[in-house]
A and B are shown apart, each in its own frame.
Chain A
């Protein structure tokens, strides 16, 4: 069975500071990995995805993530936080043979002025 662990349910950073959101996964097969963002009372928007190509993945809005197989991690980073980045972020994993996503419990990012 697959699972996703997001360390830190709340992360607070200052505007302009580095954003680091942590995600570790477990999977019995090479996984597909995703980061989604959710704004209040809205659906999920895909930030980026890893599908066994380059291990450093660049996404929208300046976010990127690095797949590290040895650490079973897929942490999300952004060099400089903007106020508009304040939202809930979800890491997700899927088995290529079963496309449904297994999500982590989410990390709420606060950006302080």
Chain B
């Protein structure tokens, strides 16, 4: 069964350092999402891609966060510099463009900023 891959699964970094997360969606899925889930809360959308184009990044803190999906396949989310409040689970999801209804989630990257 095809799955969304994410790496690393866990990351510990010091504040002010740079950190990057990688996501490989299910093959053929044109839409890719990055969500942030703070402990005890539901996930919140950071950025949505359609192929290589950003569809929605209205909730992405652009002063420190960046996201790219250069070839419309895998994607990287970067934080520079990391802050204590960035500690969270970062979830990647993908969906087929034609339906887009069902999103498939990866296992997530648990970030701890010290």
Contacts and interface: CB of A to CB of B under 8 A. Distances in A.
Interface of A: 4, 32, 36, 41-46, 49, 51, 90, 92, 94, 98-106
A99 B99 CA distance: 9
Given A43-B106, A46-B102, A90-B43, 10 more contacts: A41-B107, A49-B101, A49-B102, A100-B48, A101-B35, A103-B44, A105-B40, A105-B41, A106-B41, A106-B42
B44 A42 contact: no
Contacts, number: 58
A52 to B, nearest CB: 10
Contact of B101 (A43, A44, A51, A102): A51
Contacts of B110: 41
Interface range for B: 20 to 34
Given A41-B110, A43-B91, A101 B103 contact: yes
B31 interface: yes
A51 B100 CA distance: 11
Contact of A103 (B42, B89, B102): B42
Contact of B43 (A41, A49, A101): A101
Which 7 pairs between the two chains have the least Cβ-Cβ distance?
A: A103-B42, A43-B105, A99-B100, A44-B105, A100-B45, A43-B107, A43-B108
